[in-house]
Amino acid sequence: MYFSLRILGWGSLIAASSAVPTALHDFDARAPEATSTPIPPSLDPFYTAPRGFKNAAPGAVLNIRAAPGNLTTIFNASSEAYNILYRTTDSHYQPAWAVTTLFVPLKPPHNASNALLSYQVPYNTVDVDASPSFLAYAGAEALGLQFSDINTALNHGWFVNVPDFEGPLASFGASVSEGHATLDSVRAALSSHKSLDSSSRYAMWGYSGGSVASEFAAELQVQYAPELNFAGMAIGGLVPNFTSNFDKINNTPAAGLLVAILLGVSTQYPDTSHYLDSRLKTRGQYNATGFFEARNLSAFELFPTYADQDIFADYFAAGTTVQAPAIQKAIDREGLMGYHGVPQMPIFLYKATQDGYSAVADTDALVDRLCLGGANILYQRNTVGYHLDESYNGDARALNWLTLVLQGNYSAAYPTVGCTVQNVTVNITVTEPFGIP
């Protein structure tokens, strides 16, 4: 058999989803046996779109396999893990594809309803081989807090969906594409297991780069995936304005994220890519070779490589700025929240007021804008700690909120309309302004 009896048979899977082709011959799909050893995505033939995939609907499952190797040993609260290749849509609304990993809980759910948590890992890289579906094999060493979050969710009896939302081009910062890939991963997950369907409760959770993909998914959902009905979304360490973010992180230990965003966005915008190529220095200590090295670096490696550098002044010809039309046009579309739609699900948003990556004022402004549009948000501003700290300081609060949401008890604990803004003081850990997220 290609996969467990608990997974729908391939023909049944095709018939079970309203968002997939009606006939298997609409695309050439095969479900291979899992390999004994995980292979980097750039070398793994599974990470290849089947012929005719563009004819499939967004969210359609194109291929599926049991995850290679020992993933259920690493995530020991899961009984099974699957890689799902699915159809999605890029930033220009053209057909694309991505891969997600679906973890099946070892424990039964805490209530009668099977629930799905879509967990967006902040992998913050333009190296496709640092995507979560492969990074997961390094467990806690690579994922840190995200590793324990996934296992904790599984221990609640929740299915956990972990998408490679940057897609095969590692389009970090291309938030429209990331939002589409997140929504379509949920569509694919819901149609891939017999214990999940459209009546299941499902929610999103993401911090930092994972919150960007989640928030854009929430904004885009109403027009891109109107059939989805999320129970809620928890997001922390939000980055609502990339232009403002660039000013915050340039010349800091986090300057490498600016390099990665420019390269990631340019994978979706050829004009941006051509402009950057034409302006990069070819000689000197900081040149095009050093800039493009980011394509081979994980988020953890970006930090020491570009620490405290002035990215535009060091790597580009004089006069190159983010305000250049070829850059600004892409950043305005991909890096500015609040302009793609009003999220329809309840939101828990947590943010450190001293966040060094993104000014709290940008998040305040986004909350004001979304609330004027009718959003339902609980926004907690933590007066203690920095960006990395809030991922820990807010973690239990987010998990408790998601538990209420996925158990169907949200309305008994929180207002279901309007917004609530709270200043809180939660001091579990305090490190430094530019810790690695």
Tell me where in the chain the CATH 1.10.260.130 domain(s) lie: 242-333
Neighbour-count burial for 33-47, b at 16+ CB within 10 Å, e otherwise: ebeeebeebeebebb
Q: Which residues pair with 206 in a beta bridge?
A: 120, 235
Q: Are 69 and 38 in contact (CB under 8 A)?
A: yes
53-68, pLDDT tens digit by residue?
A: 999 999 999 999 999 9
DSSP-H helix ranges across 227-359: 242-249, 256-266, 270-279, 288-292, 299-306, 311-315, 325-334
Residue 349, φ and ψ in degrees, nearest 5: -120, 125
pLDDT for 34 equals: 53
Residues of the chain with pLDDT under 50: 1-32
**Residue 131 is encoded by which pair of tokens?**
């995507």
Q: Of the residues 314, 355, 362, 389, which is catalytic?
A: 355
CATH number of 242-333: 1.10.260.130
Q: Which of 256, 261, 260, 259 is nearest to 242 (CA)?
A: 261
Q: How many CA atoms lie within 13 A of 196 on its CB side?
A: 27
Tell me where in the chain the CATH 3.40.50.1820 domain(s) lie: 41-241+336-424
pLDDT for 111 equals: 62
Q: Which CATH number fits domain 41-241+336-424: 3.40.50.1820, 3.40.50.300, 2.60.40.1930, 2.10.50.10?
A: 3.40.50.1820
Q: Of the residues 78, 171, 200, 208, which is catalytic?
A: 208
Q: pTM to 2 decimals? A: 0.92
The distance from CA 399 to its chain's CA centroid, rounded to whole angstroms, is 17
387 is catalytic: yes
208 is catalytic: yes
Q: Of the residues 387, 389, 391, 395, which is catalytic?
A: 387
pLDDT for 25 equals: 34
